[in-house]
Amino acid sequence: MTDTAPTALERTVVFIDLAGFTVATATHGDETAADLAERLCDLTTISLGDGDQLVKGLGDAVMLVSTSSHDALALAGRICHLADHEAAFPLLRIGLHHGPVVERGGDWFGATVNVAARIAALAQPDQVVATAVVADAAEHAGMAVAALGPTSLRSFPEPIDLYAITSCPALPDRAVDPICQMAVTRSHAAATRTAAGIEHLFCSPECAATFDRSSPSEH
């Protein structure tokens, strides 16, 4: 038998996870949590282009691979756009990195994968974070890019320059439910409350009731 060495290819690796998933689970229960994780996979599958692959679901996250940074950014934008139009859905945290990867049995391995995963874990809710090569592609595509500076990633000896990218601007009427941390738009809000002069939108009557028990409302 002859051993064949794995061939490294250049790909952009994307990790997307649901911010506030633990809070949403505690608020709405395990069935809703499973529905949200399944829906993320659905939205991702719908958004795939010719050069994109949904590698696997990871509980409240998905791993994707695209042939180019441009394709990966466009994919992330499509997924964000669809998530924004859900009646209620957690904010997304997205990490991207381009570099050499090794494919084995439909899965992908290597330092590039690890960097993308670490970046997604560091991203804030509703934030797309990427390395320099991906940020360059974003700038060429006319997307807003902001330098975050050198950032230390777990298990990597040297800091890596990271950038925040606006690949899909949020809908203007979107808010975050203060109880379960899910994004909801005014047209889909199940209830609204005003407290201390601030209007809050809720994804469900249950979240509004929880808010009522903890904060006085203005009517």
The CATH number of the domain holding residue 67 is 3.30.70.1230
Q: What are phi and psi of 197, to 5 degrees?
A: 80, 5
Tell me the C-alpha distance between 144 and 166, whole Å: 5
- What is the pairing mode between strands 8-18 and 61-66? antiparallel
88 and 178 within one domain = no
Residues in the chain, how many?
Answer: 219
pLDDT by residue, tens only, the chain of 219 residues: 455 555 669 999 999 999 999 999 999 999 999 999 999 999 999 999 999 999 999 999 999 999 999 999 999 999 999 999 898 999 999 999 999 999 999 999 999 999 999 999 999 999 999 999 999 999 999 999 999 999 999 888 899 999 999 988 877 888 999 999 999 988 889 999 999 889 999 999 999 999 999 875 554
Quote the domain boundaries for residue 195. Answer: 174-214
158 and 87 within one domain = yes
142: left (phi over 0), alpha (psi -120 to 50) or beta: left
Q: What are phi and psi of 73, to 5 degrees?
A: -65, -40
**Domain count across the chain:** 2
Tell me the C-alpha distance between 180 and 141, whole Å: 34
